[in-house]
Amino acid sequence: MNFEVKEKLDDIRISKLKINDIEIETPIFMPVGTQATVKTLSSDEVWDLGYRLILVNTYHLYLQPGEEVIKSFNGIKNFMKWKGLLLSDSGGFQVLSLSDIREIKNEGVLFKSFIDGSEHFFTPEFVVKFQEILGVDIMMTLDICPPYGIDEDELIKFTNLSIDWAKRGKYVKEEEKGYLFAVIQGGLNLYLRMKVVEELEKENFPGYGIGGLSIGEPWEKTKEFLKNFVKKMPDNKPRYFMGLGDPISIMDAVESGVDMFDCVYPTRIARNRSLLTKFGKLRITKSEYKNDERPIEEDCDCYTCKNFSRAYLHHLFKAKEILAPRLATIHNLRFMYRFIENLKNSIKEKKYYQFRNEFEKNYIREYNENEEVNNEN
């Protein structure tokens, strides 16, 4: 893996991330394909939308289709016919989101399957080895994502466990099988987060995920924290904010020096009748769109906008047709791709703040939209 910061504007970075023969320019948004699919789309459709790096989830793929099937296909890329890069989440978020069916121990996490209730024990070593079986390009260390507002003693305990688990995972990692990023936890405690960075840098991880944010805390607190924390992370390695997908929040994080983002936000709201536009979310089932002959966005180059009207999308959702979430997902993912491309171009042209001001002037944000979703597909 090669990572190089190419341009800077204040703390904002344009970087090149190269793995194998694929080069990616950051900042980058990554669609989430939890169960080896970005919901409603084929791998080729996601590729044609411009994406070269997407996510899969270790916990879900371990349960289904399982290790035997993945091995028989020589990795998850062959299974899902994806020709780009893959990043796998370790399952750490499930430690938070599935709190009613798991138990945390020093050795790892005991899960109950959401499919059949069977018990499974994830250790940091096992999680790394299973991600190697998946054959992904970037894997994440097993961590504990503590809920917002947790007791300080518990926060410190879980943070220290995440440090220990990261080191244990790296110890068993085979050098030629992908790149292992460490997850930095610690809530909004700047001192604690810096301690984590200091400890993990001793192991020389090739990149870092910023975990445990955007999980219920007020965004203004997160924004202020990022301003103080991100610039103190290693400058020569990728910085990945795990689980952020609302455009305004992404710009806040980019201004702090974050490089990579993922979230189910654009795909989940697409399945729930909401379409992303430069003016904010368009709720397509409102009666005002019943006879609207316009595309979702006049200047959008996606398949949906080039071929169909708002009225048609309105009809499909009202009729509960399967095509509705497909067309909406195509548009929302293309919107996010174009948003990031425009953002990067504005940085290169030294017009970023003008770009942001113009975007925010038009984009009606009903609330912190990232709180609408969590990081599961």
Contact at 8 Å (CB) between 370 and 265? yes
CA-CA distance, 253 to 266, in Å (whole number)? 18
Active-site entry in 137, 143, 259, 262: 262
Strands 53-57 and 28-30: unpaired
Active-site entry in 48, 89, 100, 116: 89
CA-CA distance, 120 to 73, in Å (whole number)? 23
Contact at 8 Å (CB) between 65 and 101? no
Phi-psi region of 194 (alpha: psi -120 to 50; beta: other; left: phi over 0): alpha
Examine the residue annotation and report whether 262 is marked as an active-site residue of this protein: yes
Q: Measuring CA to CA, which residue among 15, 19, 77 is closest to residue 46?
A: 77
φ, ψ dihedrals at 179, nearest 5°: -125, 130
Sequential DSSP letters for 318-357? HTT-THHHHHHHHHHHHHHHHHHHHHHHHHHTT-HHHHHH
φ, ψ dihedrals at 131, nearest 5°: -65, -30
Rg (C-alpha) for the chain, rounded Å, is 20
CA-CA distance, 75 to 160, in Å (whole number)? 32
CA-CA distance, 287 to 312, in Å (whole number)? 12
Known catalytic residues are 89, 262
